[in-house]
A and B are shown apart, each in its own frame.
Chain A
Amino acid sequence: MFKLDTALLMSAIKNTPALVPPEMNSGTGYLFNKIYKQLSYSEVIHLSDLDFNAFDIEDIYSLNELFNNVFERQNCQAVSIVNAVRQIMPISRPSAYV
């Protein structure tokens, strides 16, 4: 059994620097914002919203490679931590009055 200080946890989360995505060219960057970011926030992607002149086929392959090698692993780690914290049962402290 371990004790989790929620105040300390919240403080650590607030102070954690934002994830910096790896370097990518403009085309891959466009797809990162339009496809990956939207998907990770459960937003719907519409073909009609995409500017097909903004990226090449190679940029799509690059994003796919980044997803499989980097993003998916990080995403899974984050989801695992969130699920682990959710499953921690609070322990009631005995009342000083009693």
Chain B
Amino acid sequence: MREIEDFNSIIDCLILAKKLYDIGRYDVIGQLWDELCLDSYYENMLGIISSVFTGYKGTYSENEELDIMMFSDDVISDYFVHAWQYGEIHNIHYSQNPYVLNAHAAAQKCLYSSCCVSGKLMSYIRTKKSAQKSKVIVLIHVGCGSCNIYENVAYGLIELYTWFKNQCAEIEAMKATAYKPKESESSEVTAA
């Protein structure tokens, strides 16, 4: 019997793995260190951060002690393509587009976890092509010294990915319902 010093780290990894499992991201779980321990904790946090969204670019600014991360994914692109379509159809300005506003609110909620982390949603809906280039940027001030920064970012990114994924699923379901022809109309056409 021994004192269990790494229990909290293991629990944090387990929670994140479970969240990933629940949204079907078995690919990300497969990239984590299989052995749950204090040593694998930090590596797993970075692994999750770089894998939740399919597109990831990271760079570090030594002068400012800033970890700069950029994320892109089909769930972000598809969402803002729909936002663009909505804006075009209803002639709504970017600043008034409810899809844009909702996405920024979700990003704010998921990514602003502490004074050391700031996140920004770069959303473009001027054209379809620009909408596809929408992305998420996260800045981490590593000079703060807080050991939970990367864990909070991992949590936030999973939550944000889940939000976009659910929104895209709702949009697809809505479009499928909107374009489904009524059965009575199709039978009239056949008779004619």
Contact = CB atoms under 8 A, between A and B. Distances in A.
B35 A78 contact: no
A85 to B, nearest CB: 13
A67 B7 CA distance: 9
A57 B36 CA distance: 17
Interface in B1-22: 1-4, 6-8, 10-11, 14-15, 17-19, 21-22
A12 to B, nearest CB: 17
Interface residues of A, number: 28
B35 A75 contact: no
B36 A52 contact: no
Nearest to A57: B18
Contacts of A40: 1-2, 4
Given A45-B35, A60-B15, A39 B3 contact: no
Contact of A78 (B1, B6, B18, B37): B1
Contacts of A60: 11, 14-15, 18
B172 to A, nearest CB: 26
* Residue of A36, A39, A61, A76 ringed by the most chain B CB atoms within 10 A: A39
A interface majority secondary structure: helix
B32 interface: yes
A48 B34 contact: yes
B147 to A, nearest CB: 18
Interface in B40-87: none
Given A47-B29, A60-B18, A42 B2 contact: yes
Interface in A40-76: 40-42, 44-48, 50, 52, 55-57, 60-61, 63-64, 67, 72, 75-76
A63 B11 contact: yes
B67 to A, nearest CB: 26
Interface in A2-56: 31, 35-36, 39-42, 44-48, 50, 52, 55-56
A76 B7 CA distance: 14
* Residue of A31, A52, A67 ringed by the most chain B CB atoms within 10 A: A52
A38 to B, nearest CB: 10
Interface of B: 1-4, 6-8, 10-11, 14-15, 17-19, 21-22, 29, 32-37
10 contacts: A35-B11, A39-B6, A40-B1, A40-B2, A40-B4, A46-B35, A47-B34, A52-B21, A75-B4, A79-B3
